[in-house]
Structure 1
Amino acid sequence: MSTFRSIAWEGGRLVLLDQRRIPEEKTFLELETPGEVAEAIRTMAVRGAPAIGAAAAFGVVLAARRGEDLEAADARLRASRPTAVNLFWALDRMKRVWAGFAGGREELVGALEAEALKIAEEDVAANKAIGRNALPLIPDEAKILHHCNTGSLATVDYGTALGIIRIAHEAGKKVHAFLDETRPRLQGARLSAWELRELGIPHTVIADGASGHVMQKFGIDLVVVGADRIARNGDTANKIGTYNLALAARYHGVPFYVAAPTSTIDLETAAGAEIPIEERSPEELTHCGPVRVVPEGSPVYNPAFDVTPAELITAIVTEAGLAYPPFEESLPALVRKAKEERS
């Protein structure tokens, strides 16, 4: 079984697996400035909420190493993408290190580097715990439907929802993943299929619009998806198309699970209506590669995410355990538990 990390800290540089080039080639970026990190996040060379948070943390370290203004670097990194709460969670942790730091520059760089590495390693541990916590939910021969990409490419290693599939496979369960292609950027077709092929996990890529038909025809056992932000009431923002999938799952009686670390839970946001939804370039829809497929002048609406209402979610799987409705009670309890375990 092959394995890889999407993020590595090597020789004072941030090394990222460029997700824009997969599956055509496996190319790594070596970044040395916080501006390069912000651009990599904005252009989705690195993507996935946990991976974005870890990358941003190392962006702060790069700024400190270069003697740059940390307030400016922090602001630039925060502006790179608006929806994934892990970005702000990681930058807040880094800011608690550098704000008012009384030591010298070398000491500050060391302290920031230690915190960024801690964020990265905590992510790996959290992903493995999510997979272990979900094992009882997975039948021995499971047909699982997955949307977008939530594996090693979306995290530091292992993954959240895709990590559940991976850990079930490693535990000897005969899982088969049906992967939504995930338009318009095809993270499921390009990235999830690439990961599962690398890991030797049986899978089938399907069109986004085929999910209801696949549930009807093949008898899907469960849906597992990731999250970019989870509101206090359990409303969950994830890649566009997730809401449609949840509706199809509800109609067919298929359990719908969200997998995410507790750092993705935003208790300051009461409900999904308050989550900012990123809108991306119309060219992601008007063009397929270099070829225009939408007539000139046709208006385009291209939200990157949608919000799945809490009532469509069976449970939320975190490193601290499973949250069931009412989420207003179970989510804060898991956040507290995770903080206690980290301290």
Structure 2
Amino acid sequence: MKVNINGESKAILAVWFEENQVKLIDQRKIPETIEIYSAKNSDDIYYAIKNMVVRGAPAIGVTAAYGLAMASKNMEDMEKAVKTISSSRPTAYDLFKAIDFMKANNFSESAARRYALEITERSRKIGEYGNTLIQANDHILTHCNAGALAVVDWGTALAPMRIAHDSGKKIFVYVDETRPRLQGAKLTAWELQQEGIDYSIIADNAAGYFMKNGDINLAIVGADRIAANGDFANKIGTYEKAVLAKVNNIPFYVAAPGSTFDFSLKTGEGIPIEERDENEVLMVNNSRLGPAEGHAKNPAFDVTPHEYVTAFITEYGIFRPEELRKLHSLIHEDLFMR
């Protein structure tokens, strides 16, 4: 992805492996500054995923793959390393897909690098397929961050926008702020600005206003886990946007690689939903919201039923929810995904 550092545009990855350390752009520090977090063991990997130094399902998977390769080279207890890393965040399916991949390939560094390259290339293909759905002058809504930071490069939901922009289509993006951690306002807006794509940040509860006024042509979001019937988990607030899109006859697309599909789950009812610290809701810039004795609920994700999804944008093509059996077959035939 493009990053402007001291007035100079550079290409940088969100996650990489260097000198037996896993290097990560610390997403907690963006947009104020770009800092690199160095993970030196499996406990550091757990911390990075759990505390959202890195976030986004594909990026979490790549971080886990590199982390297990590092743990193996460091001669850690691999059973313990796997248990530690797998306990970091329960909702993102890519985490468990990456762990299974590394187990099957003896936790080798070459396997981890291959996993990262595969995910990156698949994200580019998602961008190419998704670009066919975008017309010149489209106004697009997105929720949370599903850009290069959430993968390694390209992104999922943002990949079609990047390719559309690079191909000369003039587009505009409405960026949900995405409370409580503001991944939209902080991360997505930052990525779009680096790419030179026009955008505006909007309050989470303003999307319906713009949809009803005819200001939004389509919505594209990412996903953290997708069940066999097309029900999917994504950042809290996604369900509301999908319902609003349906009511206002706006196409609602989900961009995700095959590694995010969990065909062992028939419906979204089986997707575990992470509950995070209430202080993420109660505290903003070290200032408390509400009464001192007050408490908050903080589910990190919600599940959107498949009937609100127009189609899934994948590296295999674009599939309506009723076509996911065909997608399942393609994924099953893909040796990398086994």
Verify: 1:21 aligned to 2:17, yes or no.
no
Q: Deviations over 1:246-268 (max 9, x none)?
A: 01101110000000000000000
CA distance in 1, matches of 2:196, 2:109: 34
Equivalent positions of 1:19-58 (< 5 A) are: 19-58=27-66
Equivalent positions of 1:99-114 (< 5 A) are: 112-114=108-110
Q: 1:320 to 1:114 in 2, by over 3 A?
A: same
Verify: 1:142 aligned to 2:150, yes or no.
no
C-alpha displacement at 1:4, in angstroms?
A: 2.5
Paired residue for 1:234?
A: 230
Paired residue for 1:120?
A: 116
Q: Deviations over 1:46-79 (max 9, x none)?
A: 0000000000011111111111110100000000
Verify: 1:315 aligned to 2:323, yes or no.
no
Q: Which moved more, 1:289-298 or 1:148-157?
A: 289-298
Equivalent positions of 1:48-127 (< 5 A) are: 48-98=56-106, 112-127=108-123
CA distance in 1, matches of 2:308, 2:35: 38
Q: 1:188 to 1:26 in 2, by over 3 A?
A: same
Paired residue for 1:174?
A: 170
Amino acid at match of 2:176: D
C-alpha displacement at 1:85, in angstroms?
A: 0.2
CA distance in 1, matches of 2:188, 2:88: 24
CA distance in 1, matches of 2:327, 2:282: 39
Equivalent positions of 1:192-271 (< 5 A) are: 192-271=188-267
Q: 1:322 to 1:336 in 2, by over 3 A?
A: farther
**TM-score, L = length of structure 1:** 0.93
C-alpha displacement at 1:229, in angstroms?
A: 0.1
Q: 1:340 to 1:114 in 2, by over 3 A?
A: closer
Q: Which residue of 275, 281, 287 corresponds with 1:279?
A: 275
Q: Deviations over 1:113-134 (max 9, x none)?
A: 0010001000110011001111
Judge conservation of contact 1:287–1:294 (CA < 8 Å) in 2.
no
CA distance in 2, matches of 1:165, 1:221: 13
CA distance in 1, matches of 2:229, 2:292: 41
Which secondary structure does the structure 1 equivalent of 2:153 belong to?
coil
In structure 1, the gaps of 5 or more residues are 99-110
Which secondary structure does the structure 2 equivalent of 1:174 belong to?
coil
Structure with a larger share of its residues in helix: 1
Q: Deviations over 1:214-235 (max 9, x none)?
A: 1122431100000000000000
Name the Cα RMSD after superposition: 1.4
Paired residue for 2:290?
A: 294
Paired residue for 1:157?
A: 153
CA distance in 2, matches of 1:139, 1:113: 41
Which secondary structure does the structure 1 equivalent of 2:30 belong to?
coil
CA distance in 2, matches of 1:37, 1:131: 28
C-alpha displacement at 1:340, in angstroms?
A: 5.3
Amino acid at match of 2:219: V
Paired residue for 1:107?
A: none
Q: Deviations over 1:97-156 (max 9, x none)?
A: 22xxxxxxxxxxxx6100100010001100110011112211122100000001111001
Paired residue for 2:8?
A: none
Amino acid at match of 2:322: P
Q: Deviations over 1:11-47 (max 9, x none)?
A: 2211100000011110001111111011000000000
Which secondary structure does the structure 1 equivalent of 2:53 belong to?
coil
Judge conservation of contact 2:230–2:324 (CA < 8 Å) in 1.
yes
CA distance in 1, matches of 2:170, 2:324: 35
**TM-score, L = length of structure 2:** 0.95
C-alpha displacement at 1:294, in angstroms?
A: 2.2
CA distance in 1, matches of 2:255, 2:272: 20
Amino acid at match of 2:149: L
CA distance in 1, matches of 2:59, 2:265: 21
Judge conservation of contact 1:233–1:327 (CA < 8 Å) in 2.
no
C-alpha displacement at 1:183, in angstroms?
A: 0.3
Query: What percentage of aligned pairs have identical amino acids?
Result: 45
Which secondary structure does the structure 1 equivalent of 2:181 belong to?
coil
Which secondary structure does the structure 2 equivalent of 1:177 belong to?
strand
Amino acid at match of 1:245: K
- 4+ residue runs over 6 A deviation: none
C-alpha displacement at 1:327, in angstroms?
A: 4.2
C-alpha displacement at 1:300, in angstroms?
A: 1.6
C-alpha displacement at 1:336, in angstroms?
A: 3.1
